[in-house]
Amino acid sequence: MIRHISIRNFAIIENVDIDFNDGLNIITGETGAGKSVVIEAVSLALGSRADTAFVRTGADKAVIQLIATQDGEEYVITREVSAAGRSLCRINDEIVTLGTLNQFCRGLADIHGQYDHQSLLDPDNHIRLVDLYRKDTISPAKATVSDLYAAYTGLVDQLSKLKRAQAEGKRQRDFMDFELKEITDALLVEGEDAALEDEISLLQNSEKIFSCLAGAYQTASESDFSILSAMKQVSDMVSETSEYTKDLAELSQRLESLYYEYEDAATTLRELRDGTVYDPAALDSAIDRYETIKRLKEKHGRSIPELLSYADELRSQLTSIDNAEEEIAALETQIAASAAALAAASEKLTALRRAAATELESLITEQLSQLNFGEAAFAIDFRKAVDSAGNAQFSADGTDIVEFLITTNRGQPLKPLSKIASGGEMSRIMLAFKKIIGDYDHIPTMIFDEIDSGISGIAASVVGRKLREIAQRHQIICITHLPQIAAYGTSNYRIWKHSDDVMTYTSIDPLGPDEKVREIARLLGGENITETTLASARELIDASK
């Protein structure tokens, strides 16, 4: 519930403070005095989007501060908008985001402007109003439908992707088979290409290698003055002196070790020499094998390990293509079960909605009667959403299409609300909905900006009476230009505009009993207030009690 609002440098308002009370708070004033500016300021404090145009000319920033109570707790909400475009939101001096402020204030107040009845003209909103009426029972069922719909659409999407993949796979199957056979037939071995490079190099240079190895072995071991025999002599000669000193013994061991190591190297030389044979057939075979591997690597842009991995991937894809029919059949079975569960949940939701709609029809008809629609009839029409083939078309909201039908004259058929009601009638019809729905949405404050648009006379008195009735369970803040509605206010305020040589100012004053009479008299007869208009004002006030 809104207790106080402070407005600083907002539009044409320089400095205004308003204390609001329980019940029906009525704000009146001349056209252009700034009545709707107050609602704009409240809306900004409650989390609407900011605009630098709101900042009063010559000021650095606009500041709106609102004091409200909710569930026994008091909150101070502050909204600042600078001329430079920066916006700041606070709840109890804690800086919060605009989204947080907006979410918090949704449970605090609801603002209804003179064009809000357009929502009633849009059939897409009708189902939301029915759901709101019995939200305690409908919301859980609706959540179940939403979850089942998400699961159902997920499976349908999965099936669609699988079928696309199957179709694409079938188109590429022959090519994939060819590639797999090509890689498989190559009998690739990891590291084989490097080994072949060494083998080819050896075979291509075998004559030179044999010549060099033979000469080296001749020098090392076979000639009369071979290195090996010379090393043997040196080792033996030093060995004969090894017993005389420690240094000689160590040197003898080193020379003996070198001799045996060199002897082993010479043996390896002989083996390599004997194994080196120029074999043109073996060279051609190695080159052919290397070229085969090289061609596969270049064709696919992959190394041997990558080619082997790609072959495994092709096998997996071909298996998936071959098994796709089974997967599709299994998925279609899941979809059928999911659709059945969704259909059952949607039917349950429809039954709850129809029960709520039956109650809502009766209550709205009663409210319309109280709002001077004595001959009106109201009904809520249900249809099933279907696709082009006539099958039920699911959504997260179920399968219902809901539309409000009304007739305001006896003997006339029910027709869609958008084709029947005039502007003034829509204001009263919307008020009927706010009376019913407002009792269930638990929002403590309702704000109406000129809900009286398009009505006058007896209808205006009826709207005033209905506002007073709603105000028994909600705080109402209402801007009006009609004396018949203003008379019903439990707290009345007058907004007025005045100017000096430099600037225009707006002020708001709470009205005492006598001031309320004079303001209603002004609404009745203009600035020329007479005893007759004063008497009429008192009569309106007395009639409202």
Q: Domain of 454: which CATH number?
A: 3.40.50.300
The answer to which of 200-204, 455-459, 472-476, 539-543 has the lowest mean pLDDT is 455-459
Are the C-beta atoms of residues 43 and 51 closer than 8 Å to each other?
Answer: no
Residues 182 and 299 in one domain: yes
Q: Using N-to-C axis directions, what is the helix angle for 206-217 and 192-204, rounded to 10°?
A: 70
What domain range includes position 78?
Answer: 1-108+443-545
Q: Are residue 182 and residue 269 in the same domain, yes or no?
A: yes
Q: Is 270's pLDDT higher than 90?
A: no
For 9-18, 206-215, 422-431, which range has the lowest pLDDT when averaged over its residues? 422-431
Mean pLDDT throughout 321-338?
A: 86
Across 128-157, average pLDDT: 92
What is the token pair recorded at 344? 């059952």
pLDDT in tens, 370-402: 877 777 788 999 999 888 888 889 999 999 999
Give the three-state DSSP class for 46.
coil
Q: CA geometry: angle at 207 spanning 271 and 190, to 5°?
A: 70
pLDDT for 445-484, tens place per residue? 888 876 766 666 777 788 888 889 888 888 899 888 888 8
Query: pLDDT-based confidence at 315, cuts 50/70/90?
Result: confident
Same-domain check for residues 456 and 538:
yes
> Is 140 within the bounds of a domain?
no
Check pLDDT > 80 for residue 349.
Answer: yes
Output the CA–CA distances (angstroms, integers) from residue 521 to 100, 254, 468, 496, in the order listed. Answer: 44, 130, 20, 16
333 or 102, higher pLDDT: 333
- Is the residue at 528 inside a domain? yes
Is 372 part of a structural domain of the chain?
Answer: no
Residue of 384 and 273 predicted with greater confidence: 384
| Average pLDDT of span 128-144 | 90
Q: End of a domain among 292, 315, 338?
A: 315
Q: What angle do CA 113, 507, 85 make, to 5 degrees?
A: 65
Query: What single letter denotes the amino acid at residue 84?
Result: A
- For residue 107, the model assigns a pLDDT of 77
When the pLDDT of each residue in the chain is averaged and rounded to a whole number, the result is 84
Which has more confidence, 122 or 293?
293
Whole-number Å distance between alpha carbons of 416 and 428? 16
Distance of CA 524 to the CA centre of its chain: 52
**Nearest-angstrom CA–CA distance, 78 and 531:** 45
Query: Is residue 92 within 8 Å of residue 68, measured between CB atoms?
Result: no
Total residues found in the chain within this entry: 545
Q: pLDDT at position 423, please? A: 56
- Residue 114 binned pLDDT confidence (cut-offs 50, 70, 90): very low
| Range with lowest mean pLDDT among 90-94, 295-299, 358-362, 387-391 | 387-391
Domain count of the chain?
Answer: 2
Residue that finishes a domain, picked among 265, 285, 315: 315
Tell whether the torsion through CA atoms of 369, 374, 379 and 380 is positive or negative: negative
- 347: in domain: no
Q: What six digits make up the tokens of 348?
A: 């349950």
Domain end call among 315, 331, 364: 315
Q: Do 209 and 311 belong together in one domain?
A: yes
CA pseudo-torsion sign 384, 390, 391, 396: negative
Is pLDDT larger for residue 425 or for residue 333?
A: 333
Q: Answer yes or no: is 403 within a domain.
A: no
Is residue 209 domain-shared with residue 302, that is, in the same domain? Answer: yes
- Whether residues 200 and 309 fall in one domain: yes
- Is there a single domain that holds both residue 185 and residue 296? yes
- Give the whole-angstrom CA distance, residue 451 versus residue 116: 9
Task: Establish if 232 belongs to a structural domain.
Answer: yes
Residue 156: inside a domain, yes or no? no
The predicted structure's pLDDT at residue 358: 93
Residue 224 lies in a domain: yes
3-state percent helix, strand, coil for the chain, nearest multiple of 5? 60, 20, 25
Whole-model pTM above 0.85? no
Instruction: Calculate mean pLDDT across residues 428-442.
Output: 74
Please give the average per-residue pLDDT across 328-347, as a whole number: 92
Whether 461 and 545 share a structural domain:
yes
Sort 157 into a burial class: Cβ within 10 Å, 0-12 / 13-18 / 19+. Answer: exposed
| Closest by Cα among 327, 321, 325, 304 to 175 | 321
Q: Distance (Å, rounded) from C-alpha 523 to C-alpha 384? A: 50
